[in-house]
A and B are shown apart, each in its own frame.
Chain A
């Protein structure tokens, strides 16, 4: 009898223990399941946040060069900008000839479409030759070569970009003519010189830019394209570094605002690939 009593007691204990164990397992399982759900939810949020960050970075890349955006994200403390650097840079300034008259002739919607097509083609030509567009100023474009990375061939690149811009305008004009829209003409000034490159602006709004006399002179030389009735002008400083395959035509020296001496410029006619002459020893 006593054995049976012990047997019953053992069975009861076993049942209670098993039930408790099962309950504990159920609790642990439930907790694990909840934790897993929570982890999945957090991972989904993290991935969504990462996608947002990626989109934001892509959007920022339209405002500043991608390299600068990466540096801002990766290298600098929050709220600070990377230090500006002294550099020798080639500045290219392009402007539409007769833009005011054009803006009066065209409907704003059509004008905006024509301008967007123009900016896109010019930016592509600049980018293709390793330049980057710093800013659009009304109908003007300011681009730099050698500002983001060292580029000892920046002068050649800038002139190649200008020639590509000339060709792109020619093709764009053919498209515009098919739509019975007036053709565009562009004046381009290029100069090379020292300055300070980096993010410049207020705490609220900054842009990647270049500060120095180089930019002003490029803009003045661009204005001289009207005086000399040519589309691409380069300065003496740029010519000295340029490949001899570019055909240049000297222009008469012209005084420009803010510069004491008359500025010597050269019109770029074309590039004759494959016609290099041996350099004098």
Chain B
């Protein structure tokens, strides 16, 4: 089953896998199957857990049709040229009984409007959120409303697209090897095991239930979490953010600066305000922030920040091989866990900012 992305240039992986039984068994328990790629992310526990916890098929969606969510993941991964995630979602559909011809036909339908107008509107919104970010969110939201989506469904589509943007960047920037996943449907033993694997996958997928958020969080980007109050998305996202802020590998200021750069690059005013306030609370001068956001540098930045501020900008729009080479270029100035955390922060910032305008505007 040749994939549309198999010809996309993909560099050698930047990371060494590190076996971590706790993380691996957590992923296996949650998703039913071993997740070999999780070992690449194990050195940064919050990132490894986020890649498992924020998966939309495991109890996070209450309103959006799972079939639409699957298509959104496929389309956004295609949009971001993420070979790993694209092959992953194709394999998942195949395990669940969809024939290779049907998957190929579905991919062709994206371009040929062979799907229902409602589904097409959902896909168009996800593509627009991923491609253009907040500036087009309002128009895209109106189109979704016209197609008959309710407010909760719209928020869930925004989340699925944002989660895919996050996951795509984490896998693409690190150049996680995609060949093994791309070849899954070709392997004889996988074809023999397919019915069994399909049952396992189906058994572990489940719909979400109303979940209380608990105490209102106060960390930066908490309002994105609040916008999902009552949905299981809120605690999953909240835990990811809390753990990301608590992780000591990069300083809180460095992470905030990376988020600020992504917010500016995507023209997300609400996110920029939120991060700007957090930076001022950290004692960061307004003039320095302006200088950083205008020139992607300032004398007040430490060496790690001077590497990661321009790098954050590179992650907004990219070609896989180019961003993979840029990430390799900054590797000398960081230890491997710091590099991985930087990839995670940039990936999360891109997802949150793209979703932020839509969610916060409508909340």
Contact = CB atoms under 8 A, between A and B. Distances in A.
B108 A150 contact: no
Nearest to B2: A47
Contacts of B110: 74
Given A130-B317, A150-B267, A156-B295, A74 B127 contact: yes
Majority secondary structure, A binding face = loop
Nearest to B100: A43
B183 interface: no
Contacts of B135: 150
B317 A73 contact: no
Contacts of B132: 149-150
Given A153-B313, A156-B295, A278 B127 contact: no
Contacts of B104: 46, 50
Interface string A207-229: 00000000000000000000000
A54 B4 contact: yes
Nearest to A67: B131
B108 A50 contact: yes
A264 to B, nearest CB: 21
A278 to B, nearest CB: 6
Given A73-B111, A149-B132, A278 B317 contact: no
Q: Which of A50, A149, A245 has the most CB of B within 10 A?
A: A149
A278 B297 contact: no
B320 to A, nearest CB: 13
Interface in A27-71: 43, 46-47, 50, 54, 67
Interface string B296-337: 111110000000000001001100000000000000000000
A54 B78 CA distance: 14
A152 interface: yes
Contacts of B282: none
Contacts of B297: 243, 245, 276
B12 interface: no
Contacts of B294: 241, 243
A130 B314 CA distance: 10
A149 B300 contact: no
A244 B264 CA distance: 19
Contacts of A280: 287
Interface string A243-266: 111000000000000000000000
Interface residues of A, number: 26
A33 B286 CA distance: 74
Contact of A281 (B108, B124, B286, B293): B286
B111 A276 contact: no
Contacts of B293: 152
Interface string A145-156: 000011111001
A277 interface: yes
A278 B111 contact: no
A47 B296 CA distance: 46
A167 interface: no
Contacts of B4: 54
Given A47-B2, A73-B111, A150-B265, A279 B291 contact: yes
A270 interface: no
Contacts of A244: 295
Contacts of B127: 74-75
A217 to B, nearest CB: 23
A279 B287 contact: yes
Contacts of A156: 295-296
Contacts of B111: 73-74
Contacts of A153: 265, 296, 313
Nearest to B75: A74
Nearest to A278: B299
Contact of B295 (A46, A50, A245, A281): A245
Interface string B125-145: 001000111010000000000
Nearest to B300: A278
Nearest to A50: B108
B290 interface: yes
B190 to A, nearest CB: 20
B295 to A, nearest CB: 4
A43 B299 contact: no
Given A151-B265, A276-B295, 16 more contacts: A50-B104, A150-B132, A150-B133, A150-B266, A152-B267, A153-B296, A156-B295, A243-B294, A243-B295, A243-B297, A244-B295, A276-B291, A276-B298, A278-B287, A279-B288, A281-B287
Interface of B: 2, 4, 101, 104, 108, 110-111, 124, 127, 131-133, 135, 264-267, 285-288, 290-291, 293-300, 313, 316-317
Q: What are the 8 A-B residue pairs with the smallest beta carbon separation, nearest first? A: A281-B287, A243-B295, A279-B291, A150-B267, A279-B287, A149-B317, A73-B111, A74-B111
24 contacts: A43-B101, A46-B108, A47-B2, A50-B108, A74-B111, A74-B127, A130-B317, A149-B131, A149-B132, A149-B316, A150-B135, A151-B265, A152-B264, A152-B267, A153-B265, A153-B296, A153-B313, A241-B294, A243-B297, A276-B291, A276-B299, A277-B299, A278-B288, A279-B298
